[in-house]
Amino acid sequence: MSSSMSKNKTMLLLPIILVTLIFSSYNLNLVDSYSENSFLLDTHQIIEAATDFTIADVSTGITYSLSNLIGRVVVLDLFATWCPPCAVSLPYLQKLYQTYSEDEVRIISIDVDGSESQSLVSQFRLDNNMDWIVGRDVDGSISAVYGSGSIPTFHIIDQKGNIHWSESGFTAEETWPIMSSKIATLVENSESPTENLSPSSRVFITILEVLGGIGAAVAIIYGIYKLRARLMRKKCLSCNSVANSKCSKCGGHICSDCSSRGCPNCGNRKFIRL
């Protein structure tokens, strides 16, 4: 009897031990990964991070923040309606808009001439088929950070929110090949979505993955335990069904239906419940 109880305790402790080992392994990896990634991300933010801003679209009034576009390549275009090179660049920006989905590349064109009205910029947008985000730097705060001494000025901001490339002026022969190549490279080498998340978000997702792995392990272990228990069920000596008692004298197994007739081995009518 004590031997049977000891085996049952061992079977119950086994899943707990395995789950503990799995969790410990995942937890160590999580701590190491989080510490390393946090350091690298902080370093990039200090050295290369683009300054966040919020802009309202001149036609729809919808506001967009640069920080909300993390995970996409952002092409920031500083322009004015009277600028000839700015107008030259627009068909090429249209090519970008048609080539990439909004999950890959977002274009933000910002009029940096504070004297130009919203209606003027909005009409310029319609006349030139600027289907992407178009806004106005009303208070000059964006120009102060990103520069507009010479327009157009372009900044390519990568999926992590870092300024990847900047250029003032535009020519189809010189600027466009470099710009399009930079964008294509960033899109092609884009990392998985979780790599573009904040450290806290990545930790949360990793915790969910750990819990999912633990749940799967527990389910497998429980299934093995139940299968083993089923395979180890004793059969009734009389009818071969599952036994739930054993003879107190010879130890033969018997079911409740057959126990009224006594043990088929020794005739004993006293049984111990399993």
Local structure of residue 51 (DSSP, 8 states): P
Q: What is the pLDDT along the chain (274 residues), one digit of tens a residue?
A: 444 445 554 555 555 555 455 444 444 443 333 333 322 333 223 347 899 999 999 999 999 999 999 999 999 999 999 999 999 999 999 999 999 999 999 999 999 999 999 999 999 999 999 999 999 999 999 999 998 678 999 999 999 999 999 999 999 999 999 999 999 999 998 765 455 555 666 677 778 888 888 888 888 988 887 777 666 667 887 888 888 888 888 888 888 888 888 888 888 888 888 7
Whether residue 177 is preceded by a cis peptide bond, meaning omega within 30 degrees of 0, is: no
Question: Against a cut of 0.85, is the pTM above it?
Answer: no
Q: Reduced to 3 states, what is the DSSP secondary structure of residue 78?
A: strand
CATH class of the structural domain 49-195: alpha beta
Q: Which of 96, 171, 110 is nearest to 143 (CA)?
A: 110
Residues whose CB falls within 8 Å of the CB of residue 26, separated by 6 or more in sequence, listed in order? 210, 213, 214
Q: Which helix (H) or strand (E) holds 206?
A: helix 199-231
Annotated domain spans of the chain: 2-47+200-230, 49-195, 234-274
Is residue 158 classed exposed, middle or buried when 0-12, 13-18 and 19+ CB atoms within 10 A define those classes? buried
What Rg do the C-alpha atoms of the chain give, in angstroms?
Answer: 35
Q: Reduced to 3 states, what is the DSSP secondary structure of residue 62?
A: coil
Residue 10 to residues 17, 139, 232, Cα–Cα distance (Å)? 10, 72, 15
